[in-house]
Structure 1
Amino acid sequence: MSKGLRLSERWFQRGLWLVALVFAAFLIGLGGKVVDNLHYVEKPITAEQFIDPVQGPQVQAALSAAEKKLKDANDALEQAQLAANVASNNYRTARETFDNWLRTRQVTARPEQDPELIARNRELDTLKAAERKAQGEVEAQQQNQLDASQAHDRAQAQWNALNEPAIEAAAKAARAAELRVFLYRLMLTLPLLAVAAWLFVKKRRSIYWPFVWGFIFFAGFAFFVELVPYLPSYGGYVRYTVGIVLTVVIGRYVILALQRYLARQKAAEAMPEEARRETLSYDTALARLAKSVCPGCERQVDLKDPALDFCPHCGIGLFDRCGHCTTRKGAFARYCFACGTPAQHVGPVSP
């Protein structure tokens, strides 16, 4: 902010910068909502959309039936195995009891116990038959489970044959949709950036500069911040390509701007001093002098040197004498600071 500004003008300038920031904040909030909701333009993509509408439901139904049959077979096998374990435990317990009783009978050798021996043998035979029957049920359920498992594998293979190409097609369509959404966002933000560049070049010094700068902040944020998370990856090619393009465009603009600036400075330094003074505004001259640079050529000069009255680089006058009191004063000052007499050589009044 220039030291030549009045105190109230400085506060007005700060207030206008606040207006620019608030304006940019509201624009950024609105733009963020728009950019974030652009993905609703595209319909959600699922693999089911790419499965054959005739074969898909049939294979899916067969797979569901096979899964249910396999579950039922597993449950029946578990029940059969549990029953077989119970029958085996019953027979083993009865066999141990019979063996103990048989050893006792051999010791006593009592003939009246022969009918009990026959009954116990029959009971063991019955338990053994139950155990064998339970084991046969287990074997049958194992066969059913194997058949159900193989049928499920065949149904799963048929479903995979339909589903895997559909998944690939859905992924390809999703990438295309992602790119389209990115292009929608780019078509929205890129014109904003172009308008912001035009406003920066043409209107940044107009009386409505707070709104100009607010829009510039908004456009820059929308393009360089809000757009970045939505850049498709593609191995980083898009990001690197966008970075290269932006670097080339901005670098070219800076190079051409530098060349134009040097050409203007060279042409200005070739002009007579009075004509050069006419091209410099009062505020610009004061701002450059406050930075200890020459208002004409913008090179560093030692303004504290009392012997320095002209710029040693371009020859423009930096100090002169008051025509009334002969006090040494700044050549761009409008009035003599010692006696208040209007200066004889000053720049234009308008900034």
Structure 2
Amino acid sequence: MTTSQAYSRPARLLQIASWVIAIAFAVFLNMLGSLVIRDLMYAPRGGPPTVEQFADSKTDEPLKATQRELERERAALADKAEAIGIARMRAAQNYNGAKESFRNWVTTRTATGDYSQDPAIVARTKRLDELQSAVVDWQRQQDALNDQQRALQVRTMAVDQQLAASQETAEKRFEQASRRYELTVFAWRLAVTLPILLVAVWLFLRFRRARYWPFVYGFGLFALSAFFVELVPYLPNFGGYVRVLVGIALTAFAGIYVLRAFQRYVERKREEMQQSQVERARSVAYDKALGAFQKKLCPSCDKSWSLGGDSASFCIHCGLKLFEVCECGGRNFSFFPFCSCCGKPVRRAGDANAEPPAPLGDAAGSTGP
């Protein structure tokens, strides 16, 4: 059972309502922070850089114009090559057909032994020569066109290489500008987020137990979210060195803080142990005493008193008196305000004139968790 479970039902409901307020406050602040962090990318003058901003238009425009002209020439040569190819194929088909017909005709004449048609043979041979000449002529045209296409391809490759080199230079400039822009945007975001985190730490250390602690905790949750969720993903990488160094720094900071806090705790306990029992008993807060009683710990030295048995009246570690016997004979925890048997105020030994501690009751909502 936790300390809050020792409270009355209204106090527990107030605790729950307070945490709901803290979380709701953090959610709405986080929504506002997300919008601000998002819009900070437009804070640098001119907005995000683009590749077009770094292109050399004086060099690229003539190259692109030449590229378009070479593309038109390539398309025209491709159409012309297709037409010549079709014409050559038809001429070859005509020649092959005429050649086959002539071979059959000569075979027939040789079989019959009729040589009176020699002039016809000469004419047919001449016709075959003409058809073959047409095929050869179309082939020459096609070869010449292929040479033009190869020359055009070489010119196109040269223009493409020049244009690619210009674009590569523009991309390098764009990458450098992008890195500078990212650093600038990160600096803006850090300038907004870091003060929020510092203010949240200050508020937590100073006002975490104040009357309006839900707003302090809500602001703290918002600050943690703004720093670790909204800012850290935009942390420049630089090959991973930055994030590793930041992780090392945060770990070292947290480690030093924890070690110093523990050392302060040990030193505070050492000083408390040098005080009298009455002084130590007076310094124990009621809510801490309730939590210690539930866990069977001494509220002064934070060690288990149950090692001395459940009937023990003193802490076996520091000697603090933990239980008092009421006039009615009831045995009560010394830090309880009233006797559980007769309802009379519990008086501590050596502190008879002091007023009994007031129960937490309705005041639970005015302090932090």
Corresponding residue for residue 28 of structure 2? 26
Q: Is the 8 A contact 1:280 1:347 kept in 2?
A: no
When the two chains are superposed, the root-mean-square deviation of aligned CA atoms in Å is 2.3
Corresponding residue for residue 76 of structure 1? 80
The normalised TM-score by structure 1 is 0.90
Q: Is the 8 A contact 1:269 1:314 kept in 2?
A: yes
Corresponding residue for residue 330 of structure 1? 333
Corresponding residue for residue 195 of structure 1? 199
Instruction: Tell me the SS of whatever aligns to 1:81.
Output: helix
**CA 1:95–1:33 in 2, change beyond 3 Å: closer, same or farther?**
farther
Partner Cα distance (2:203, 2:296) in 1: 30
Partner Cα distance (2:240, 2:134) in 1: 71
Q: How far 1:338 moved relative to its partner?
A: 0.9
The amino acid across from 2:344 in the alignment is T
Instruction: Tell me the SS of whatever aligns to 2:304.
Output: coil
Q: How far 1:315 moved relative to its partner?
A: 1.6
Instruction: Tell me the SS of whatever aligns to 2:306.
Output: coil
**Match among 229, 239, 257 for residue 225 of structure 1:** 229
**2:169 is equivalent to residue 165 of structure 1:** yes
Instruction: Tell me the SS of whatever aligns to 1:227.
Output: helix
Partner Cα distance (1:36, 1:325) in 2: 69
The amino acid across from 1:80 in the alignment is I
Q: How far 1:332 moved relative to its partner?
A: 0.8
**2:305 is equivalent to residue 301 of structure 1:** yes
**CA 1:79–1:243 in 2, change beyond 3 Å: closer, same or farther?**
farther
Residue correspondences, number = 350
* 1:75-109 C-alpha deviation (Å, 9 max, x unpaired): 43343334323322332233223222322222234
**CA 1:149–1:187 in 2, change beyond 3 Å: closer, same or farther?**
same
Corresponding residue for residue 8 of structure 1? 10
Q: Is the 8 A contact 1:279 1:347 kept in 2?
A: no
**Which shifted more, 234-243 or 247-256?**
247-256
**Which shifted more, 268-277 or 299-308?**
299-308
Corresponding residue for residue 289 of structure 2? 285
- For structure 2, the 5+ residue unaligned runs are 349-355, 361-366
Where do residues 1-351 of structure 1 align in structure 2 (5 Å cutoff)?
A: 1-2=2-3, 3-42=5-44, 43-111=47-115, 113-114=117-118, 116-302=120-306, 305-322=309-326, 324-345=327-348, 346-347=356-357
**CA 1:252–1:118 in 2, change beyond 3 Å: closer, same or farther?**
same
The amino acid across from 1:337 in the alignment is S
- For structure 1, the 5+ residue unaligned runs are none
Instruction: Tell me the SS of whatever aligns to 2:332.
Output: strand
Partner Cα distance (1:256, 1:273) in 2: 27
The amino acid across from 1:35 in the alignment is I
Partner Cα distance (1:94, 1:178) in 2: 77
Q: Is the 8 A contact 2:29 2:219 kept in 1?
A: yes
Q: How far 1:284 moved relative to its partner?
A: 1.5
Partner Cα distance (1:205, 1:192) in 2: 20
**Which shifted more, 230-239 or 313-322?**
230-239
Q: How far 1:6 moved relative to its partner?
A: 0.8
Higher relative contact order (CA 8 A, sep 6+): 2
* 1:226-281 C-alpha deviation (Å, 9 max, x unpaired): 32332232211121111112112222222222222222222222222222222222
Q: Is the 8 A contact 2:51 2:170 kept in 1?
A: yes
Partner Cα distance (1:281, 1:222) in 2: 35
Instruction: Tell me the SS of whatever aligns to 1:19.
Output: helix
Instruction: Tell me the SS of whatever aligns to 1:259.
Output: helix
The amino acid across from 2:54 in the alignment is F
**CA 1:186–1:79 in 2, change beyond 3 Å: closer, same or farther?**
farther
